[in-house]
């Protein structure tokens, strides 16, 4: 097996110089913590451009990308239809602060694909969407408590920053300074995949819980699928107790098929949040649900939420161009088959190297956990050997393969990836794991 020339043997002088300058004016040299590579070591990447399944750093080094802007780039980088739509809209105007027909067009594409979302409100980030959905749930039920699951990440609003997985897990932050204790006390954390714990917390806080918020497939403690009956059980418990079910599909929306993953899992949330893919790589998110519930939001109701750039025309054009392409017959099946080849191949390479690991996968997203035991929740995920993951990350990066710079994130296969890309990745994994195995033996 062979791979491209190792990346770190190439010149990265310009990237290094840019990051050193960035550290002087940006906090940690980055605008989102995981980008600093603190948990995996090595020098952070400085990306100059992307094309299809590849990224190119400031020194011109090519990387095969399995981060895909944390799942947003399902069609690959610089998709021609999306790029042209954005360029055309930029010539017409980039922000108006009033409604455009584009907002109606994207909303219609989404609600046709997800019929149980009757009305929708666009915002600019996943955090805004989940924060607004929780506010709506509290306003509609006139209750204060919410239930979330340990290791599930729903953005960085105050209500969500306890046992939150994702970047906090990467950095080893369990509780975030700056979140008032009184507000944190209104968030009740329970283990993912544990319906008994959910039942107990509803008994302990009878008639006080406004909503349960959940990732239908956890992807921010690494990928952890729901166990059979878990989500249906959640829906039943919430309904029985007069609470709302909020399903956070910022990652999973339009990821496994052209619509909501809830359709595949046999549930329908009261409120659903979306992001990433619906924006085609431009900042867009949304929350929506039944009309009678969404009508509590201003201007129709008293639950206030607003945003100058909400429904931004550039973002709407990008989202429309993205979603129209996702209706192509066979698109999801082909992407899933590539992802399966990658997962099966990685499992074989790990076994061959004698390295204990689990690979959790569903559809086109997956995570390698360096632990001998199955990973079903956040406690299991935290038992992973994060140092070994960091070593694997660096070895793969040396060979031009860009994986998530964190144990607690997902790898994504996009429409742009090819069978040859999977072959190349497995060859790089073979070399990387043999090096790691040899070093461990020594």
Residue 320 lies in a domain: yes
- Mean pLDDT for the stretch of residues 276-290: 97
Domain stops at, among 325, 347, 362 = 325
294 and 389, same domain (yes or no): no
CATH number of the domain within which 281 lies: 3.40.640.10
Domain stops at, among 266, 301, 325 = 325
105 and 26, same domain (yes or no): no
307 and 342, same domain (yes or no): no
281 and 423, same domain (yes or no): no
Per-residue pLDDT band for 173 (boundaries 50, 70, 90) equals: very low
Q: What is the pLDDT of residue 84?
A: 98
Residue 374 and residue 173: Cα distance in Å, rounded? 24
- Mean pLDDT for the stretch of residues 51-67: 97
- Whether 385 is catalytic is no
- Domain residues for the domain of 394 are 7-65+330-441
97 and 187, same domain (yes or no): yes
Catalytic residue selected from 57, 148, 270, 276: 276
Q: Which residue has the higher pLDDT, 38 or 66?
A: 66
With residue 176 as reference, give the H or E element that holds it. none
CATH number of the domain within which 55 lies: 3.90.1150.10
- Mean pLDDT for the stretch of residues 106-110: 98
Catalytic residue selected from 57, 65, 148, 153: 153
- Mean pLDDT for the stretch of residues 139-161: 91
Q: Which residues of 310-345 are buried (b: 16+ CB within 10 A; e: fewer)?
A: bbbbbbbbbbbbbbebbeeeebbeebbebbbbbbeb
Q: What is the pLDDT of residue 187?
A: 92
Domain stops at, among 263, 293, 325 = 325
- Mean pLDDT for the stretch of residues 262-285: 97
Q: What is the pLDDT of residue 333?
A: 98
Residue 166 lies in a domain: yes
60 and 151, same domain (yes or no): no
305 and 360, same domain (yes or no): no
Q: Which two tokens stand for residue 237?
A: 């418990």
Residue 326 and residue 212: Cα distance in Å, rounded? 30
pLDDT of 433 higher than 90: yes
pLDDT of 111 higher than 80: yes
Query: 162-166, 226-230, 233-237: lowest mean pLDDT where?
Result: 162-166
36 and 87, same domain (yes or no): no
Catalytic residue selected from 65, 248, 270, 380: 248
Q: What is the pLDDT of residue 1?
A: 46
Q: Which two tokens stand for residue 374?
A: 């199955």
243 and 140, same domain (yes or no): yes
Structure confidence by residue, pLDDT tens digits, 65-83? 999 999 999 999 999 999 9
Q: How many domains does the chain have?
A: 2
- Whether 248 is catalytic is yes
- Whether 276 is catalytic is yes
Residue 73 lies in a domain: no
Residue 308 lies in a domain: yes
318 and 341, same domain (yes or no): no
274 and 419, same domain (yes or no): no
55 and 152, same domain (yes or no): no
Q: Which residue has the higher pLDDT, 106 or 159?
A: 106
- Mean pLDDT for the stretch of residues 363-392: 96
Residue 53 lies in a domain: yes
């Amino acid at each position: 097996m062979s791979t491209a020339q190792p990346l770190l043997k190439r010149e990265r002088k310009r990237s290094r110089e840019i990051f050193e300058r960035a550290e002087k004016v940006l906090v940690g040299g980055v605008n989102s913590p995981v980008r600093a590579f603190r948990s995996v070591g090595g020098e952070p990447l400085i990306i100059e451009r992307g094309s299809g399944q590849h990224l190119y750093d400031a020194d011109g080094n090519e990387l095969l990308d399995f981060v895909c802007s944390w799942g947003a780039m399902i069609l690959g980088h610089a998709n021609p239809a999306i790029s042209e739509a954005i360029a055309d809209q930029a010539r017409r105007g980039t922000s108006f602060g009033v409604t455009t027909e584009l907002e109606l067009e994207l909303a219609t594409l989404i609600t046709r694909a997800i019929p149980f979302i009757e009305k929708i409100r666009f915002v600019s980030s996943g955090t805004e969407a989940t924060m607004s959905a929780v506010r709506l749930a509290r306003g509609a039920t006139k209750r204060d408590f919410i239930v979330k699951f340990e290791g599930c990440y729903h953005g960085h609003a105050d209500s969500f920053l306890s046992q939150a997985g994702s970047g906090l897990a990467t950095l080893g932050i369990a509780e975030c300074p700056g979140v008032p204790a009184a507000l944190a006390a209104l968030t009740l954390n329970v283990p993912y995949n544990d319906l008994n714990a959910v039942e107990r917390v509803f008994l302990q806080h009878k008639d006080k819980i406004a909503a349960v918020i959940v990732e239908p497939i956890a992807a921010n403690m690494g990928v952890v699928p729901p166990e059979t009956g878990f989500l249906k059980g959640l829906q039943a418990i919430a309904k029985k107790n007069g609470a709302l079910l909020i399903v956070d599909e910022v990652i999973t929306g339009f990821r496994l098929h052209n619509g909501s993953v809830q359709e595949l899992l046999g549930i329908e949330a009261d409120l659903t949040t979306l992001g990433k893919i619906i924006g085609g790589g431009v900042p867009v998110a949304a929350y929506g649900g039944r009309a009678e519930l969404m009508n509590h939001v201003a201007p129709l109701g008293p639950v206030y939420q607003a945003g100058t750039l909400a429904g931004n025309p550039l973002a709407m054009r990008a989202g429309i161009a993205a979603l129209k392409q996702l209706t192509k017959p066979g698109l999801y099946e082909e992407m899933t088959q590539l992802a399966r080849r990658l997962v099966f191949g990685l499992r074989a390479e790990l076994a061959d190297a004698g390295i204990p690991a689990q690979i959790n996968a569903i559809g086109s997203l997956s995570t390698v956990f360096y632990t001998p035991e199955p990973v079903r929740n956040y406690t299991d995920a935290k038992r992973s050997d994060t140092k070994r993951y960091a070593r694997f990350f660096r070895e793969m990066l040396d060979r031009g393969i860009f994986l998530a710079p964190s144990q607690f994130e997902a790898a994504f296969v996009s429409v742009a990836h090819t069978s040859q890309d999977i072959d190349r990745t497995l060859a790089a994994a073979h070399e990387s794991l043999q090096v790691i195995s040899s070093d461990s033996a020594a």
